Chain A
Amino acid sequence: MAKHDPEFEHEHIGIPGYLGVFGLLVIGTIGTYYIATIDLDRVFPGANTLVALLIAFTKMSFVMLFFMHVRWSSRLIWLAVVAAFFWLAIMFSYTMQDYLTRATGVFTQ
């Protein structure tokens, strides 16, 4: 039966695995909350933003790979996921290459 194709018969990570991912997400949330109150901009400007986004991306990756089972999904699903973020990157980069290169950032003066 096609149903019992090994690619579609998977255990995923089981309850201990789900609890482990959950633990990481909780640690990430509490960590990002406290790190936000520390002045990392002394290290280099924008370090606070970078750290907050890195934590958010890590959390997102764990949710997508394990809770949403992308880790075990077909290549077609991987393509859909990557394409979604690729379009998002296009929207961000083309918008910002306009705004960041304007002379004053405002229309007056």
Chain B
Amino acid sequence: MAEHGHSDKFVYHEPGLQHQFSDMMQQEQSVSIGMWAFLAQEIMFFGGLFTAYLVFRSKYPMAFAAGSNRLDAFLGGTNTLVLIVSSLTMALTVYFAQKGNRHLQIIFILLTMLFGAAFLGIKAVEYHNKYVEGIVPVAGWNARAKAPAGAEREEAKPCWQAENLEGDNYVNPKGEFIWADCSLAKLAQDENFLTTAEKAGYFSNGQLDGDKFRDKVRIFFFLYFVMTGLHALHMIVGLVLMTWLLWTAFRGYYNADYYMPVEMSGLYWHFVDIVWIFLFPLLYLLGRHFVHAH
């Protein structure tokens, strides 16, 4: 051990053993617990947003249901399947790394990157649709949105009969969040299942107030963009990680005895998949039965 300095860490040890560890098993355990501590931290990181979602959805369930129904559940579901396929290809990447099969390992890293990129592409289409429809919850960002055709006619109606129409007329110069339809609040009022917060939060002088309902829907879209945005950011980081993994796998860094970087990258990728497994039902699906089963 004495003949070499710290920089020659590959001289006497097993290839891949970092000099601060005494053997491969200790290295694997240390790397794993480090990664899981990071993932536990990530769970808390996303957990804050899930808590915000829990609080506001329990207060304003019908506004959240209205927002969920406006999202494209088919695109969201497609993205869920795309991520699940990418999780399978990631699991197989780790499998072939364990087998020391460099060729298949590279192919499955490329497939994982392909499906990860497909997810981000579909997400971008969804974001673009929201922008075009004027339901970005930031004042001023919806100024270019095509406001509903016949919006003047719709304005004359009570909000529970108004529809979120699409059209060409331009009537939103301040770029405000565009939302007219409060029919789900009306449904809950008629069937008597408004929450206490909703009874105060949707009404002015005992009448359903479209503007107050809109502001609660806006909270849903704010959470939608922040939660999916943070998730998309994790996907981008995952793709950078995959690029590095592809390069190192191509250079032949990994073999049947040393593949921990592949396994740890896999843990990160699967974690991001799990976050989406919860985001999909919470954002896209809950409350759909109010519209689709009636």
Which of A's residues lie within 8 Å of B, judged by CB?
A: 1-3, 5, 8, 12, 14-15, 18-19, 21-22, 25-26, 29-30, 32-33, 36-41, 45, 48-49, 52-53, 55-56, 59-60, 63-64, 66-69, 73-74, 76-77, 80-81, 83-85, 87-88, 91-92, 95-96, 99-100, 104-106, 108-109
Cα distance, A22 to B115, chains bound together (Å): 15
B84 interface neighbour in A26, A40, A53, A108, Cβ under 8 Å: A26
Which B residue sits closest to A70, measured CB to CB? B36
Chain B positions within 8 Å of A, measured between CB atoms, are 14, 23-26, 28-29, 32-33, 36-37, 39-40, 43-44, 47-48, 50-51, 54-55, 58-59, 73, 77, 80-81, 84-85, 87-88, 90-92, 95, 98, 193, 195-197, 200-201, 257, 263, 266-267, 270-271, 273-274, 277-278, 280-282, 285-290, 292-294
Q: Which residues of B contact A53 (CB under 8 A)?
A: 281
6 more A-B contacts (CB under 8 A) besides A8-B28, A36-B292, A37-B288? A3-B14, A3-B24, A5-B25, A105-B59, A105-B200, A109-B200
Distance between Cα atoms of A14 and B39 in the complex (Å): 25
CA distance A95 to B88 in the complex (A): 36
Contact A52 B270, beta carbon cutoff 8 Å: no
Q: Can you list 6 pairs linking A and B with CB atoms under 8 Å apart?
A: A15-B92, A29-B280, A32-B280, A33-B73, A33-B285, A74-B29
- A67-B289 in contact given A52-B281, A77-B33 (Cβ < 8 Å): no
Contact A45 B270 (CB under 8 A): no
Q: Is the interface of B mostly helix, strand, loop or mixed?
A: helix
Q: A-B pairs with the 9 shortest C-beta distances? A: A105-B197, A84-B40, A39-B293, A36-B285, A37-B292, A80-B36, A52-B281, A2-B25, A2-B23
> B84 touching A22 by the CB < 8 A rule?
yes
Q: State A11–B17 Cα separation when bound (angstroms).
A: 22
Does A104 lie within 8 Å of B80, measured CB to CB?
A: no
Which residue of A is nearest B258, CB measured?
A3
